Amino acid sequence: MKKSIYLCLTVAFLSVWNHSDAQKKSFVDVAGLDPSIKPGDNFFRYVNGRWYDTVKIANDQSGVGSYSFMNIPQKKLLQNILDSVSKSKNTMGSVEQKVGDFYASGMDLTTINSRGYEPIKPTLARIDAINSVPALLKFVAAEQRSGNSSIIGFGISPDNKNSNINIAHAYQAGIGLPDRDYYFKTDSPTLRIQQAYKKYLYTLFQLTGSSPAVATKDADIAYAIEKQLATSHKTNIELRDVNANYHKMAIAALGKTQPNIGWVTLLTNLGAVTDSVDMAQPAYYTKLNELLKSVSIQDWKIYLKAGTLTNYAETLSKPFVDASFQFSSALSGQATQKTRMQIMTESVDRYLGQALGQLYVKRYFNEDAKKRVLVLVNNLQKAFENRINHLDWMSDSTKQKAKEKLYAITKKLGYPDKWRNYDKVQINRTKYFENVLSLNQNDYQYALAKLNKAVDRTEWYTTPSTVTAYYNPPQNEVVFPAGILQYPYFDFSADDAINYGGIGMVIGHEMTHAFDDQGAQYDKDGNVKNWWTKEDYAKFKVKTNQLAALYSSFTVLDTVHIKGHLTLGENTADNGGIAIAYDAFKLTDQGKSTEKIDGFTPDQRFFISIARIWRVKTRDAFLRTYVNTNPHSPAMWRVNGPLMNFEPFYKAFNVQPGDKNYKSEDQRVRVW
């Protein structure tokens, strides 16, 4: 690609840096840089190597550092709130009362442990009473409404072909391992996870009264049914194909092709009044329809008991919580359990996230950050437009459509304009299990109320305190919660290089998701609709396939490589995000200067900031699971991958042929 040409834009976000500020707080960890590593060999290690080699991962964690692991110190702020409101006298029905009493109920281990598995005995008894396939499916539907999902994956969300309306969706379901491949791979790490899962099921059966022999037999039966269901599952890579995972079908027709499921009755029992459903993965329901006839009712009852036990294990007494942890540690490598305070902080955030979010924003969020970051978002939008204008592989007609979509993006910052209420939820300070059940039922009814209704485009799908960001294709929106609007992503006193390399890169990343392998299939209104010329889309596919091939060449652990097609969307966004953030940075006063801070030029500080926001170290077991299941590349390759494709980085650090991550001009992959 030719060198970028910058439009003359009026940039509202003026530089906030000066020497006195920089001297007060240095945003580059100069002492932490590893001069023994050449930037062109491994820039992640150059910036983070000394930290990486000396930092210790806490025994109760699977990793440490930035991004998702910043939620660890973030949760300490939430713990402060929870400790306060749980000890206060709050008005009944208030946000403080619900949050405080729910937290207190989960902290009451004496009561929880004394109850054992008593809370789920009625559910297990209902399973024992099942005597037919219709009775089985009636139970499945009732439990779905209480958060105990099993063989039916059911949800309400926008119609991919008409994003203004929420419709019913049915997804593949029914398995307890991370994805279908875990049932069929025969490498040693996967076999260990399979055995850990079977041991988990065995332990749960024993804890509910089964003899060792019966527990072993029942664990094998439940696992075998899961494995049969898994044969019909699509892989994580196959799930990325938007059109291949959309099949809107009439319920009347499904009644003929899948009679054993009985869709009319099932949907009635789910409370869903609809004449159609988007069956995302039809092969799964074809397989389920067969198994409902070929698998005995007795075996299905064992399967449902296993699923109920795994679903509720973490809300029961200590032996169940311990069993759940033993299995999860096989996936994450985490050595010891989190404290009860940590567990309950996560639980409150999961079940009462927007209620807790209100208290978090009130106590910790700086409103000025919202205004400042909005200016960055607008600047990056302009920079992205400029990049689109100068693409050498896209026609003018497709460029126009791309820009229309770009400027149609909705921007959500900090926290929702309107908060979700939990008025219909009653929280009892002494009954943790019942509180979880009530919140699950409320969540289900909250979602069900959307069926066949207009999409609420003000809704948020993450909590304000979470350190994350996302792009939502059906609503063509980017969302940056309050949790990520802090260092190392953003700081008022930082120079532009730090902020544009931090939150600027994240903003550019999320914007690029509108144009990655999945997002590019949605139009500006959020509908799956082609807006490309045939020739342009073919060129786009060539470029994204090149990117997938590049990342597939990166080795993570021993012989484990990144899955280039699984991570394609995130890798496209990382590469685009850096380029867009850099272009926007070059429009600032500092971006146009060459004045050094801490001995580094503005461009060098920009790239150092990028490496700093992905400063993450994880356990090998966690990383192995992550590579198999997560659409993001591991942290090191979120830095090194995009930079080896980006010419300004080469210039900033004088990267030369012979450096390990050097790519010749014809090898560098550029999409946006």
Domain borders along the chain are 19-55+366-416+460-667, 119-313
Whether the per-residue pLDDT at 5 is higher than 80: the answer is no
What does the alpha-carbon distance between residue 455 and residue 474 come to, in Å, rounded to a whole number? 10
Task: State the pLDDT at residue 19.
Answer: 35
pLDDT in the model for residue 12? 30
* pLDDT tier at 68, thresholds 50, 70, 90: confident
Mean pLDDT, residues 122-130: 98
> pLDDT class for 23, splitting at 50, 70, 90?
very low
Contact between 604 and 34 under an 8 Å Cβ cutoff? The reply is: no
Instruction: Give the pLDDT band of residue 167 (cuts 50, 70, 90).
Output: very high
Spatial separation of the C-alpha atoms in residues 238 and 565, rounded to whole Å: 9
Structure confidence at residue 349 (pLDDT): 96
* CATH of 119-313 given 3.30.1950.10, 3.40.50.300, 1.10.10.60, 1.10.1380.10: 1.10.1380.10
What mean pLDDT, rounded, does the chain reach?
A: 94
Residue 631: which pLDDT band, with cuts at 50, 70 and 90? very high
Tokens representing 113 are 């442990």
Confidence at residue 70, expressed as pLDDT on a 0 to 100 scale: 84
Same fold flag, 19-55+366-416+460-667 and 119-313: no
Tell me the mean pLDDT in the region 647-657: 98
Which uninterrupted H or E stretch holds 203?
helix 188-207
- For domain 19-55+366-416+460-667, give the CATH number: 3.40.390.10
Comparing 25 with 593, which gets the higher pLDDT? 593
- For residue 72, the model assigns a pLDDT of 85
pLDDT in tens, 323-347: 999 999 999 999 999 999 999 999 9
332-389 per-position pLDDT tens digit = 999 999 999 999 999 999 999 999 999 999 999 989 889 989 999 999 999 999 999 9
168 has pLDDT over 70: yes
* Distance between first and last Cα of the chain: 10
The residues, any chain, with a CB within 8 Å of residue 592's CB and separated by 6 or more, are 586
Which pLDDT band, with edges at 50, 70 and 90, does 25 fall under? low
Helical (H) or strand (E) element with 384:
helix 367-389
- 145 to each of 139, 141, 347, how far by Cα in Å? 10, 7, 19
* 312 pLDDT more than 50: yes
pLDDT score of 69: 86
Neighbours of 493 (CB within 10 A): 15
Average pLDDT over residues 509-525: 97
User: Could you give the CA distance from residue 516 to residue 577 in angstroms, rounded to a whole number?
Assistant: 11
